[in-house]
Chains A and B, each alone.
Chain A
Amino acid sequence: MLEVKGLNAWYGESHILHGIDFEVREGEVVTLLGRNGAGKTTTLKSIMGLVPRREGSIKFRGAELVRLMPHHIARHGIAFCPEERGIFGSLSVTENLLLPPVVAPGGLGIDEIYTLFPNLKERARTAHGTRLSGGEQQMLAIARILRTGAKLLLLDEPTEGLAPVIVQQIGRTIREIKARGFTVLLVEQNFRFAQTVADRHYVVEHGRVIDMIPNHRREASMDKLHEYLGV
């Protein structure tokens, strides 16, 4: 579904990505693992078109995305959930939920979303999105992109800074949306969480993909992983 080949990206003069190669097949949950500064977030942002200078190839269902603007990339069926969650304080919770436009048929309806995220239904009347707790904001950030009909979801560190109970909830949510046919590309530093949801892991270091570990073979690769992630 997604094929990234030789992706290079720059922020101004800084050359962050030095030729990223990986692929995501339809229906998979794939993680990009690595330490801080490895280039994981930059990779997601490059796919989304949010990094000004990028070169290489990003093919989504055969279409080349690397020269496109973010709103065109979204319309191809990719949705982004940023690291900071990006909940808008000047919008109510419901307005936040309904903000991303529908880009394709097949997205979840409002009722389905409230079934998946019952605490969002409770908080729907909150006037400012940023009044929600961190966990609730993360749920809202994921919920709103499920409505759009996008088939590939880019999630940037969804468990960062959240309590273990919420982290488990997010894990359940990701497994649930995978069961409904969504494809997820996940950036994570927390391997313990990543192994509960992912099919495959790519390790990113210094702007390159240096390894790929299928989840079912992770036991054998534990030493390598400890070294890569510095854990």
Chain B
Amino acid sequence: MSSGGANAPVVPRFRGGERVKVRRADVPGHIRTPWYIRGQAGVIERLCGTYPNPEELAYARSGLPAQPLYRVRFAQTEVWPDYAGDAADTIDVEIYQHWLEPG
């Protein structure tokens, strides 16, 4: 989903406070979405900005169009079945938009 020319930055689709889910995908290459967070549901903490896609940059490609990057907040008790801390504890992970779906 992009506006303007082919390399114009992708328009952010999520806003702070929105519930999202991390895609449960298993793909080769250089991926910055940690294994432990795939398939997890969280809330957008903030839009960090748009950046060239590291998955492409890793292969000396341009990484354009730039992708929206979010900090997504997750409840630790949901991420880890045996989590031994407080119910309010959280983990924030920076995740690119193309790894997120509405939650």
Real complex partners, A and B? no
